């Protein structure tokens, strides 16, 4: 077997980062193999705990990417971290389960973080055992005591009730239940979800490709800002939507800003009484090109003139 446990410590004067990956400590079922083939030797683990206890940085960040391991070793890491005078932050990623959740509780107040994409599992402890009835009963008693201690630890850090955590650990025949980041925070096992990004609502493809739609969105924002600064209707100028003969600007992206400015002016007129320019009756001898409505008007005028 290769070494599947990795505890890396990067220390500096102000900040120390501890990365915990893979299996924590030595799994029970592998304790009796040759040291060279163990997942992690006790000697290596003891050296790591000693290095954690010697950290002098004012801030320690513990990044956890582990599905658990030996609960005894996790408790030793937890206590080593809690003994430090530094501010401790724990960050859980991926599947954070079992003994890894014990280490996660070592953080300072309000500093237990969990990734928005992580899952969190607490469950009853287990072990491999053999022997006579008395020996097996002793093992069972040890497991019950371990479960009680873990439930009390979770309750102490969350401000909850140990019985509630004992029931959570006992779900699914003692295998527990995977919690979402939100459920983890709600249960009190974490303080903050990290990695969440609130994306603004994106317009549909049709809207995003339509310059008029973009101009309308800018218009609404501009009107809201102007009305907030000046809630009284603004005086209108001599332009209004009843005028004809104004140049039409093609609806292209290059003209979007100009269209937006015109649209803004037109929108302001809706907040004030409309105004029209004075107009005269069309001349009877006007030879300019006229519309069909004007032509009908002239025909009627000529008949009245007779």
pLDDT tens track for 224-250? 565 555 554 444 444 343 334 444 444
The whole-number average pLDDT for the span 47-73 is 86
Per-residue DSSP letter, 12: -
So what's the pLDDT on residue 288?
55
Spatial CA neighbour of 12 closest among 46, 61, 47: 61
In whole angstroms, give the CA distance from residue 247 to residue 245: 6
* Beta-carbon count within 10 A of 37 CB: 11
- Checking if the pLDDT of 138 tops 90, the result is yes
Q: What's the pLDDT score for residue 44?
A: 66
> pLDDT for 10-28, tens place per residue?
776 688 888 888 888 765 4
* Residue 168 to residue 150: CA distance in whole angstroms: 12
Report residue 82 as tokens.
Answer: 């809690």
pLDDT at 192 over 50: yes
Residue 118: per-residue pLDDT: 96
In angstroms, the first-to-last Cα distance of the chain is: 115
The pLDDT value recorded for residue 263 is 63
Q: What mean pLDDT comes out for the span 175-189? A: 96
| Rounded-to-integer distance, Cα 119 and Cα 71, Å | 19
The larger pLDDT score, comparing residue 73 to residue 45, is at: 73
Confidence (pLDDT) at 235 = 45
Q: Is 254 exposed, middle or buried (0-12, 13-18, 19+ CB in 10 A)?
A: exposed
Average pLDDT over residues 259-284: 57
Number of Cβ atoms within 10 Å of the Cβ of 303: 8
Q: Are 38 and 26 in contact (CB under 8 A)?
A: yes
- Which has more confidence, 200 or 77? 77
Mean pLDDT of 60-80: 90
DSSP state of 253: G
pTM (predicted TM-score): 0.58
Q: Is pLDDT above 80 for 58? A: yes
Over the stretch 166-180, which tens digit does the pLDDT of each residue have? 999 999 999 999 999
* Cα(152)–Cα(166) distance, integer angstroms: 9
Instruction: Give me the residues paired with residue 20 across strands.
Output: 7, 64
Tokens 């859980």 appear where? 92
The CA distance from 21 to 283, in Å, is 91
Q: In the structure, what pLDDT confidence band is assigned to residue 100 with cuts at 50, 70 and 90?
A: very high
For residue 268, the surrounding DSSP H or E stretch is helix 256-269
| Residues 6 or more apart whose Cβ sits within 8 Å of residue 197 | none
* 44-48, 64-68, 280-284: least confidently modelled range: 280-284
Q: How do residues 112-123 score in pLDDT, each as one tens digit?
A: 999 999 999 999
């Amino acid at each position: 077997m290769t070494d599947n446990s990795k505890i890396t410590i990067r220390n500096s004067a102000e900040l120390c980062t501890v990365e915990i990956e893979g299996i924590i400590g030595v799994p029970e079922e592998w304790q009796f193999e040759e040291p060279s083939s163990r997942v992690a030797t006790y000697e290596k683990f003891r050296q790591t705990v000693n290095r954690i206890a010697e950290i002098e940085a004012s801030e320690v960040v513990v990044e956890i990417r582990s599905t658990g391991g030996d609960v005894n070793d996790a408790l030793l890491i937890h206590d080593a971290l809690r003994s430090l005078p530094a501010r401790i932050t724990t960050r859980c990623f991926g599947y954070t389960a079992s003994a890894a959740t014990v280490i996660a509780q070592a953080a300072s107040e309000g500093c237990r973080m969990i990734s928005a994409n992580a899952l969190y599992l607490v469950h009853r402890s287990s072990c491999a055992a053999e022997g006579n009835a008395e020996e097996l009963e002793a093992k069972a008693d040890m497991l019950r005591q371990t479960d009680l201690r873990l439930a009390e630890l979770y309750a102490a850090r969350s401000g909850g009730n140990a019985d509630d955590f004992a029931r959570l650990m006992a779900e699914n025949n003692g295998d527990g239940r995977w919690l979402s980041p939100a459920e983890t925070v709600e249960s009190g096992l974490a303080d903050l979800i990290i990695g969440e990004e609130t994306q603004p609502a994106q317009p549909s493809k049709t809207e995003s490709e339509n310059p008029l739609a973009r101009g309308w969105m800018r218009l609404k924002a501009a009107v809201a800002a102007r009305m907030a600064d000046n809630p009284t209707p603004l005086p209108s100028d001599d332009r209004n939507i009843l005028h004809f003969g104004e140049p039409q600007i093609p609806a292209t992206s290059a003209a979007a800003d100009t269209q937006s400015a015109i649209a803004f002016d037109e929108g302001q007129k809706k907040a004030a009484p409309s105004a029209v320019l004075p107009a005269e009756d069309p001349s009877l001898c006007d030879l300019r090109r006229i519309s069909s409505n004007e032509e009908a008007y002239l025909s009627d005028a000529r008949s009245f003139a007779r």
